[in-house]
Amino acid sequence: MHDDMGIPVLADIENAASRIRKQVSITPVLNDPGLDAVLGTTFFAKCENLQRTGAFKFRGASNAILRLREKGIQGDVATHSSGNHGAALALAAKLDRRSAHVVMPKNASKLKVEAVRRNGGVVHFCAPTQRDRESGLADLVAAGHIPIPPYDHFDIIAGQGTAALEIAQAGLGVDAIITPVGGGGLVGGTAIVGKAVGLPVYAAEPAGAADTAASFAKGKRVDSWQPDTIADGLRALVGLRNFEIIRQNVQSVITVEEQEIKEAMQLAWQHLHLLIEPSSAVVIAAVRKSPAHFSGKRVGAILSGSNIDPQEWLRLVGAGG
Amino acid sequence: MHDDMGIPVLADIENAASRIRKQVSITPVLNDPGLDAVLGTTFFAKCENLQRTGAFKFRGASNAILRLREKGIQGDVATHSSGNHGAALALAAKLDRRSAHVVMPKNASKLKVEAVRRNGGVVHFCAPTQRDRESGLADLVAAGHIPIPPYDHFDIIAGQGTAALEIAQAGLGVDAIITPVGGGGLVGGTAIVGKAVGLPVYAAEPAGAADTAASFAKGKRVDSWQPDTIADGLRALVGLRNFEIIRQNVQSVITVEEQEIKEAMQLAWQHLHLLIEPSSAVVIAAVRKSPAHFSGKRVGAILSGSNIDPQEWLRLVGAGG
């Protein structure tokens, strides 16, 4: 229906929602009055940290794989990933009786390598540079595997948008939605939903990986940034078409400091009883520091993932969290 | 309507559900096919670990306090607690503009003392013996405070039963419900619901605090047990009327070993992305070790709480959880 190089519309996201329904969890939305008091807003946490494979990434991966099936395209898939997309693609492929080949830097965390393997993926180690990752993937594609990139892809964006669709359909009466931004798959899909249903969408980004905020301010995509943040899921540069969606449809990109991210992780544990990864916590930090945008509002915030070693969580947040 | 010394019926639990609705979260139910594969059952986790104050205890406390309001009984409340009931009662009292006085052993964990205080409770330290706890509470009652015990209480049992009511009403098609048993408030309320709607109810208990299993086997309440378990929420002796409900309405009391509890905590993190306290994990351990009861069934299991220091979780489960 749509060109895979194009930008999804609401109908694509609605179709994705029907397509992935049997595999993907409708994640819970949590609210805690104690957290609301801290944030000065009514905060609805959309718990993609409780999604299968522990991250929203499974929505996009599931949609991409099921679209291959619909189109009758057979064969294994491949990607490079140091994070959640690899595990999500592995599971989505396994459920469709395909293999997923994931190029990972040889210094990737043991936990993330195990997550890919636990979900049935085949790990190919490479030297830890962007060039080696890309050439590793190119080799797999040359061998006939279908590339499924983590965010700059029509079906991935449409799949990630289904989380926002669930927020919009849940009858919560939200005034705005906020998501983290790394490569821009999640905020891209969310912004398409927001635009269609008349809800302003905000993006939250670590100051140490603020290429999207810089791009947004300039109105032109910044194509180089040396990321330095604990939010490992948000170190990627925003994708080309992802930035185009953001530029046109996102209200504001709010940057937060590392200490604010750590405090937000602690707030999530104390008030929501959830251990979340730093990339998730940026939305809590952004709402907390931006009363001008959110004070007194009802805000739907996507907690993107839970994939952190509890030991690392403790190192970041401190004992007695 | 009912004598406070009696045993609640389904209508009392339904009334409790209406009464507490504005304060208490309808907690999510999570399922993960990966966990199902490990357990050999379709496992629905009723997430009371995500309840306000991090435990199902807030249901009973809220019901008890709101019943006082209905009856026009004014004044502060008091209890002794080294655990989740203290924090739950503190919050329920605060929401009704009362104070809650909580007698705690002076060696209680800093985390639990802070939880009571954060929720507005007044902590009274005592020597760490049952006798000192009871005399501390007696002093408060002599001073005019209303005692609200943690489990052997009509309104507490009715309130705790509302979690099972939500499971029964969620349309999950469960074949059975399982809950942890300590003092027996949660399993008591659950068993009343189970009996009324025709669902068998199981209790799970650490082998190191198996007074309920021993009582159940004898058909008579054992009134002495030296608990030795990491499941700190389940160290209490089962209450008098709680045991009476269990004896008449519970299918079986399944005991689990400490190592099985730790493994279940790890399974909850890997598959459900939830950090839960040991007392919650006993239900996962019990389902895992009892295929004779649960194989191929659809089981609703109440995860009772999340109140554990992540550092302690890590000590029990090990790094890389």
What is the DSSP annotation of B167-233? Answer: HHHTT---SEEEEE-SSSHHHHHHHHHHHHHT--EEEEEEGGGTHHHHHHHHTS---------S-GG
Termini Cα distance of chain B: 49
The C-alpha angle A170, A175, A181, rounded to 5 degrees, equals 90
Instruction: Give CA–CA dist B55/B74, Å, rounded.
Output: 26
Q: Give the β-pairing of B298-303 and B42-47.
A: parallel
SS3 content of chain B, % helix, strand, coil (to 5): 50, 15, 35
pLDDT tens column, B190-211: 999 999 999 999 999 999 999 9
User: Which of A32, A33, A273 lies closest to B306 in CB terms?
Assistant: A273
Please, which residues bridge with residue A77 across strands? A100, A146
Chain B environment of A310 (Cβ under 8 Å): 269, 275, 310, 313-314, 317, 319, 321
Q: Are B248 and B300 in contact (CB under 8 A)?
A: no
Give the domains, in start order, of chain A with CATH numbers: 10-55+153-317 (3.40.50.1100), 57-147 (3.40.50.1100)
CA–CA min distance A83, chain B (Å): 16
Tell me: pLDDT of A299 over 50: yes
Q: What is the largest CA-CA distance in chain A?
A: 55
> Which pLDDT band, with edges at 50, 70 and 90, does B1 fall under?
very low
> Which pLDDT band, with edges at 50, 70 and 90, does A1 fall under?
very low
Instruction: Give CA–CA dist B298/B33, Å, rounded.
Output: 12
CA atoms in the 13 A half-sphere facing the CB of A19 = 29
What is residue A129's predicted lDDT score, i.e. its pLDDT? 82
What is residue A112's predicted lDDT score, i.e. its pLDDT? 85
DSSP state for residue B317 in the 8-state scheme: H
pLDDT tens column, A84-134: 999 999 999 999 999 999 999 888 888 889 999 999 999 999 998 878 988
Amino acid at B9: V
What is the DSSP annotation of B93-107? Answer: HHHTT--EEEEEETT
Q: Is A304 a catalytic residue?
A: no
For B308, nearest residue in chain A (alpha carbons): A320
Q: Are A189 and A196 in contact (CB under 8 A)?
A: no
Tell me: pLDDT of B316 over 70: yes
Instruction: Give CA–CA dist A21/B14, Å, rounded.
Output: 32
Written as six digits, the tokens of A65 are 């794989």
Chain B environment of A47 (Cβ under 8 Å): 28
Strand ranges inside chain B, DSSP E: 29-30, 42-47, 77-80, 100-105, 122-126, 146-147, 176-180, 201-206, 252-256, 298-303
Written as six digits, the tokens of A249 are 């449809």
Do the chains contact at A50 and B111, CB–CB below 8 Å?
no
Regarding an ipTM greater than 0.90, the answer is yes
Catalytic residues of B: 57, 82
Instruction: Give CA–CA dist B210/B201, Å, rounded.
Output: 17
Rg of the Cα atoms in chain B: 18
Please, which residues bridge with residue A180 across strands? A204
Chain B environment of A24 (Cβ under 8 Å): none
Please, which residues bridge with residue A79 across strands? A102
